[in-house]
Amino acid sequence: MGSILNNRANRVYEEITRLYPLAHCELRYSNALELMIAIILSAQTTDLAVNQVTLKLFEKYHTFEDYMNVELSLLEQDIRHLGLYKNKAKSIQGMAKIVYEEHKSIFPNLLSDLMKLPGVGRKTANVFLAEWYKIPRIAVDTHVSRVSVRLGLAKKDDSVYKIEDKLMRKFPKDQWIEMHHKLIFFGRYFCKSISPNCTECPLIDICKTPFPR
Catalytic residue among 88, 123, 166, 170: 123
Question: 39, 128 in Cβ contact below 8 A?
Answer: yes
Long-range CB contact pairs, 39-44, < 8 A, 24+: 39/124, 39/127, 39/128, 40/88, 40/91, 40/92, 40/95, 40/119, 40/120, 40/124, 41/79, 41/82, 41/88, 41/92, 43/83, 43/84, 43/88, 43/119, 43/124, 44/83, 44/84
Per the annotation, the verdict on 208 as an active-site residue is: no
For residue 58, give the nearest of 71, 70, 67, 47 by alpha carbon.
Answer: 67
For residue 61, give the nearest of 36, 24, 25 by alpha carbon.
Answer: 36
For residue 13, give the nearest of 198, 143, 203 by alpha carbon.
Answer: 203
Per the annotation, the verdict on 123 as an active-site residue is: yes
Catalytic residue among 78, 88, 141, 170: 141
Helices marked H in the chain — which ranges? 2-19, 32-41, 47-60, 64-69, 72-78, 85-102, 111-114, 122-132, 142-150, 160-170, 176-189
For residue 53, give the nearest of 85, 23, 97 by alpha carbon.
Answer: 85
Residues marked as catalytic: 123, 141
